[in-house]
Amino acid sequence: MAAFTIWRHPRPRGAEGRCIGGRTDLPVDPRKAKRLAHRIRQHARRLSLPREVVTSPLARAAGVGRCLKRWGFVWRVDAALAEMDFGAWDGRPWSDIPPADFERWMSDFCGFDFDGGESLDALLKRASAWQPPCALAVGHGGWINARCWQGGAPTPSSWPRPPAYGRLTSAPSAA
């Protein structure tokens, strides 16, 4: 199975202590976006990859794509790369979410839709069905975890921490 390389977007401004998903579009420091774009450009050069990148439409990933476009890359935006939609929780401080709501989530870890958002099951299906149009991508921690998840239904204790901001991951390219 071939792989593509996906980087997690740079650390966004204003995310600390908040549930941030696909509905909360936070900016990143333009210097951090440019630094990550530079690393992606070096990676493409080193591996002789085409100068093409696909990103999530969210600002924290798209800013990197904009930098690469200025440097001659073909940049595509794909909504299928967006972070999980945390529904009514999205953008709220974690401390404002009642413990009973966390219990609802933990008791239905894969099926819970965050009161109108996307379940982990839905994210797993969306991420595994995505067909990369090129070898380079910029996306989100939850999406990357879902794409790389292998085997069985995840549980709260088995679900991995997201990759570090700006970190690259080789991910399966076909479901």
> What's the pTM value of the predicted model, to 2 decimals?
0.93
Confidence of residue 174 (pLDDT cuts 50, 70, 90): low
pLDDT, position 1: 36
pLDDT, position 172: 64
How many domains is the chain built from?
1
Give the CB-side neighbour count of residue 55, counting CA atoms within 13 A.
26
pLDDT, position 173: 64
- Asked whether the predicted pLDDT for residue 170 surpasses 90, the reply is no
Reported as a single tens digit per residue, the pLDDT across 51-80 is: 999 999 999 999 999 999 999 999 999 999
How far is C-alpha 161 from the chain's CA centre? 12
Give φ, ψ of 138 to 5 degrees.
-130, 125
Q: State the average pLDDT for the chain.
A: 94
- Asked whether the predicted pLDDT for residue 34 surpasses 60, the reply is yes
Question: Which residues lie across from 93 on neighbouring strands?
Answer: 18
Which CATH number fits the domain that encloses residue 51? 3.40.50.1240
Place of tokens 């996306």: 139
Question: Can you give the residue range of the structural domain that contains 44?
Answer: 3-172
Q: Is 164 helix (H, G, I), strand (E, B) or coil?
A: coil
Question: Which residues lie across from 53 on neighbouring strands?
Answer: 75
**Residue scoring higher pLDDT (175 or 144):** 144
How far is Cα 105 from Cα 139, in angstroms, rounded to an integer?
24
> Which amino acid appears at position 70 of this protein?
R
